[in-house]
Amino acid sequence: MELFKPIDLKKDIQNINIENIERVRCLIIGSGPAGYTAAIYASRANLNPLLYTGLQMGGQLTTTTEVDNFPGYPDGVTGPQMMEDLKKQAERFGADIRFGIATAVDFSGSCHKVTIDDNKIIEADSVIIATGATAKYLGLESETRYAGMGVSACATCDGFFYKGKDVAVVGGGDTAAEEATYLAGLCRKVYLIVRRDELRASKTMQDKVKSTGNIEVLWEHQTVDLFGENGVEGATLVRKKGTASEEIVKIKIDGFFLAIGHTPNSEVFKNFVETDTVGYIKTTPGTSKTNVAGVFAAGDVQDPHYRQAVTAAGSGCMAAIDAERYLSELK
């Protein structure tokens, strides 16, 4: 799902009525844990933040059923409920939260311009980018059907629910090897489904996989379907697909984990904000500052390592504090 799409701002601005231009001190783009936390802190600092949610209000957590590892919820909470709680908390302190999509930006001047839904320009003294990242999926219809019912893109988030059960991890890189090793400490058996005949992971991670007794690597296998009555009960694989020795393999599993990467939702900002080769926004270490003065990044859009709700929330706090200090220096 494309949450934020680039357009030609100079061409499109001619079609924007002057009445559709609004000026704010702090604009937050994105509504996951990072965006909502930034809104809470910015509101309490009297920055009167305006937050645009993007298409997926609440971010990736709205596709998660149970969240057991976020502090403050001793009995657990659903992802959508937790995001609603954060939203209400931000609104209680005065945050202006609106539904809308950032379709273009112009960070070339001291006043940052962001176009919303192709027809409204927000002029902001400071901008916090909290647009998150989108997990990559195989594109199977059954992945959507079993979302929250056995399909996950985060072993650290959901692995606990499969304690003592059999699961599968798809991927051949460091992330897949790391998630398989993590799940092996919880689950009875872990299948690592690898499309090629070798792992792309570092030698250290490969050695960990090989030395973990309850991980079985399925070389040259590709997942073509998932099956089950009320959730994932198994996966249909093809071994050596497209060759003379191609064969169908079925495995019984309770959980199916994708570990084939994430796409940071940063495309619309790339003409101004520096990113790495994958697209994660670069920030000054120990801060949320980007290469553009007054523009800050928080959450998964700048975090290729942890991608947890609690770390995203923490970076949202940092971004709001950094924005407050930046604005105080402008006076």
d(C-alpha 274, C-alpha 282), whole Å: 6
Per-residue pLDDT in tens (0 to 9) along the chain, 331 residues: 444 444 454 455 455 565 699 999 999 999 999 999 999 999 999 999 999 998 777 677 776 667 888 999 999 998 889 999 999 999 999 999 999 999 999 999 989 999 999 999 999 999 999 999 988 999 999 999 998 899 999 898 899 999 999 999 999 998 899 999 999 999 999 999 999 999 999 999 999 999 999 999 999 999 999 999 999 999 999 999 999 999 999 999 999 999 998 899 999 999 999 999 999 999 999 999 999 999 999 999 999 988 899 999 999 999 999 999 999 998 6
95 neighbors 42 (Cβ within 8 angstroms) = yes
* Token representation of residue 240: 């050596």
The helix (H) or strand (E) run that includes residue 99 is none
pLDDT at residue 18 in the model: 56
**Which residues in 166-311 belong to E strands, given as ranges?**
166-170, 189-193, 215-218, 221-227, 234-239, 247-252, 255-258, 262-264, 295-297
**SS3 of residue 151 by DSSP:** strand
How far apart are alpha carbons 162 and 253 in whole angstroms?
10
> Any idea which residue has 């936390």 for tokens?
37
CB 328 within 8 A of CB 48: no
Q: What is the DSSP string of 224-249?
A: EEEE-SSS--EEEEEETTTSTT-EEE
The question of whether 158 is a catalytic residue gets the answer: yes
Cα-only R_g, the chain:
22
Question: How high is the pLDDT of residue 56?
Answer: 74
* Cα 147 to Cα 228: distance, rounded to the nearest angstrom: 13
Task: Give ∠ CA 210-211-215 in degrees, rounded to 5.
Answer: 65
Q: Which of 26, 111, 118, 154 is catalytic?
A: 154
CA distance 273 to 268: 9
CB 246 within 8 A of CB 224: no
Q: Among 12, 96, 106, 158, which one carries the catalytic annotation?
A: 158
Nearest to 162 by CA among 194, 192, 189: 189
CA dihedral 107, 111, 116, 118 (to 10 degrees): -70
Neighbours of 105 (CB within 10 A): 27
The whole-angstrom separation of Cα 148 and Cα 261 is 19
Domains and CATH numbers, the chain: 9-134+262-330 (3.50.50.60), 137-258 (3.50.50.60)
Q: Which of 26, 125, 157, 166 is labelled catalytic? A: 157
**Catalytic annotation present for 157:** yes
Asked whether 128 and 324 are in contact (CB, 8 A), the reply is no
Is 26 an active-site residue?
no
**Nearest Cα to Cα of residue 119 among 211, 14, 25:** 14
Q: What is the pLDDT of residue 1?
A: 41
